[in-house]
């Protein structure tokens, strides 16, 4: 963390926007909320799906060397003995003898309670895995854990994937899914919660080529955030010190984002060596060897792991996209979300609720919704409706006015520049497609024109 923070955005504004517009709500809010658990509302669920789909597209769909997996959350308890989580996945916890608040001792600056200044207990190790029971009997033999990372599902399926896909090294397995950690200190909205989602790749390589692949994934993953529209100056790489390295890691870099509370981890990229496959071979008694057809050698692959948080990516996208602009006597709040991430791609706005206009606008709405998430809004002035769409990051609004009924043309208004063009309704879908894919707003289809009149108002 540092003292540098982005200017216009702070966490209160992001939380307020998310609650006001239905991106994210506290979990079980009517009961007072559940600490560090969050519900994604109608817009949040779209944003989150778009983040995950963009990741999946980049790391699975568009590559020959990575395939997907969806392993179960509950795994055989031996998994966690082998992975080292039963023994080592613990934080040092201290409790205040006065107010009984609990803290991670490695995050405290002094030796007193940060809340009341009281005396603290000696640190004890607190395991972060959530425990539950499999079946009707609550006994030690039926204990299972909610997975604290998706990674282990990929390690234990290594041989299944090799045998069924005939993939040869180097190749990766990718997975998106929930993970659970009984974190001692949570906070900063969805940055650190007890239930969250991860997007992880386990990339299996020949020992000796691991350094090269580690550097490859570092660059690849950093660029993914840049392609999502996150500003380069808000991203940095940070190498873990020897003391910080997890028990399984030979080397690790974090991709940090400059969140409102300071630089913090968005994704970790680790060289896990052969730690995981060796451990699972030992604990399961099954071979984790790989046979190289070319060199005729047997060996245990090394693993490069880019491990990203879905919720942290959502938060970074929201923080990075948030903007405020003076707008007459008010402030225009807008999200400069990349079109691929925007929950709603296009809003259809009839200029009035009068019948012939509504019919025409509804027809356009019905047609466009077959291709994208579209919103239809006819409440209040057109200016207010534009602002509502700006605030949720909708890249384009399509306005249908009385002239549209005569000339069969509609107006497209762009979120960031507020510029407008007028085009034939017949080419609306293709024009929007091109613009959502990044074509400039002023590349006009045949018959289109720059619409100057509306630009004054907005
Ligand atoms: N398999 C490796 C692994 O799980 P990690 O650094 O503990 O590594 C990877 O977690 C990513 O998961 C983090 O970079 C972060 O984005 C996300 N993450 C971890 N703990 C989280 C939490 N409590 N809340 C939200 N996201 C979390």
pLDDT tens-digit profile of 319-336?
Answer: 999 999 998 888 999 999
Q: Does 434 have pLDDT greater than 60? A: yes
**Is 174 within 8 Å of 57 (Cβ atoms)?**
no
Q: How many angstroms does the Cα of residue 309 sit away from the middle of ligand 1? A: 6
Give the whole-number percent of the chain exceeding pLDDT 70.
97
Mean pLDDT of 235-263: 96
Nearest atom in ligand 1 to 270's CA:
2
Distance between CA atoms of residues 79 and 132, nearest Å:
15
pLDDT tens-digit profile of 135-173?
Answer: 988 888 899 999 999 999 999 999 999 999 989 999 999
Q: How many angstroms does the Cα of residue 266 sit away from the middle of ligand 1? A: 8
pLDDT tens-digit profile of 168-224?
Answer: 999 999 999 999 999 887 779 999 999 999 999 999 999 999 999 999 999 999 999
Tell the residue nearest (CA) to atom 12 of ligand 1. Answer: 309
Distance between CA atoms of residues 167 and 165, nearest Å:
5
Mean pLDDT of 314-318: 98
**Is 368 within 8 Å of 376 (Cβ atoms)?**
no
Tell the residue nearest (CA) to atom 10 of ligand 1. Answer: 307
Q: Does 455 have pLDDT greater than 50? A: no
pLDDT score for 454: 45
pLDDT tens-digit profile of 78-123?
Answer: 999 999 999 888 788 898 999 988 888 888 888 899 989 999 998 8
Tokens of 136: 């009707």
Distance between CA atoms of residues 351 and 454, nearest Å:
12
Q: How many angstroms does the Cα of residue 198 sit away from the middle of ligand 1? A: 7
Using a 6 Å CB cutoff, which residues line ligand 1?
A: 149, 151, 181, 183, 192-193, 196, 198, 200, 265-268, 305, 307-309, 311-312
Q: Does 456 have pLDDT greater than 80? A: no
Contacts of 369 (CB under 8 A, 6+ apart): none
Ligand 1 test: best mutation among 128, 252, 307, 315, most atoms within 8 Å of CB?
Answer: 307
State the CB neighbour count (10 A cutoff) for residue 204. Answer: 26
pLDDT score for 457: 42
Contacts of 456 (CB under 8 A, 6+ apart): none
Phi then psi for residue 142, to 5 deg, are -105, 15
Closest C-alpha to 47, from 384, 434, 403, 316: 316
Mean pLDDT of 31-51: 96
């Amino acid at each position: 963390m540092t003292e540098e923070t982005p200017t216009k955005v702070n966490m209160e504004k992001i939380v307020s926007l998310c609650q006001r517009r239905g991106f994210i709500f506290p979990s079980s809010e009517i009961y007072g909320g559940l600490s560090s658990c969050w519900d994604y509302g109608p817009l949040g669920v779209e944003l989150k799906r778009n983040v995950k789909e963009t990741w999946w597209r980049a790391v699975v769909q568009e590559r020959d060397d990575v395939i997907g997996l969806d392993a179960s959350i509950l795994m055989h308890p031996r998994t966690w003995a082998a992975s080292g989580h039963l023994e080592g996945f613990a934080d040092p916890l201290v409790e205040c003898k006065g107010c009984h608040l609990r803290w991670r001792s490695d995050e405290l600056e002094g030796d007193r309670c940060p809340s009341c200044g009281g005396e603290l207990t000696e640190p004890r190790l607190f395991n972060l895995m959530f425990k539950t029971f499999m079946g009707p009997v609550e006994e030690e033999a039926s204990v299972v854990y909610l997975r604290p990372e998706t990674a282990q599902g990929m390690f234990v399926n290594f041989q299944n994937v090799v045998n069924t896909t005939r993939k040869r090294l180097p190749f990766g397995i990718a997975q998106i899914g929930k993970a659970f950690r009984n974190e001692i200190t949570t906070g900063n909205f969805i940055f650190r919660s007890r239930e969250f989602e991860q997007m992880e790749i386990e990339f299996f390589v020949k020992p000796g080529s691991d350094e090269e692949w580690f550097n490859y994934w570092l660059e690849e993953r950093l660029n993914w955030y840049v392609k999502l529209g996150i500003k380069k100056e808000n991203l940095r790489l940070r190498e873990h010190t020897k003391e910080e390295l997890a028990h399984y890691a030979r080397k690790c870099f974090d991709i940090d984002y400059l969140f409102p509370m300071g630089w913090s981890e968005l994704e970790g990229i680790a060289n896990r060596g052969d730690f995981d496959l060796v451990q699972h071979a030992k604990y399961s008694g099954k071979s984790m060897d790989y046979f190289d057809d070319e060199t005729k050698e047997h060996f245990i692959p090394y693993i490069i792991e880019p491990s990203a948080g879905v919720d942290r990516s959502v938060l970074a996208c929201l923080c990075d996209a948030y903007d405020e602009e003076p707008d007459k006597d008010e402030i225009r709040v807008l999200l400069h979300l990349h079109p691929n991430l925007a929950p709603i791609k296009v809003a259809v706005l009839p200029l009035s609720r009068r019948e012939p206009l509504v019919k025409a606008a509804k027809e356009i709405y019905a047609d466009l919704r077959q291709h994208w998430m579209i919103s239809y809004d006819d409440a209040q002035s057109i200016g207010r409706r534009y602002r509502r769409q700006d605030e949720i990051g909708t890249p384009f609004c399509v306005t249908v006015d009385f002239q549209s009924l005569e000339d069969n043309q509609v107006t497209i208004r762009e979120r960031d520049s507020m510029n407008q063009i007028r085009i034939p309704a017949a080419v609306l879908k293709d024009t929007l497609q091109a613009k959502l894919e990044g074509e400039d707003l002023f590349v006009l289809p045949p018959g289109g024109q720059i619409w100057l009149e509306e630009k004054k108002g907005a």
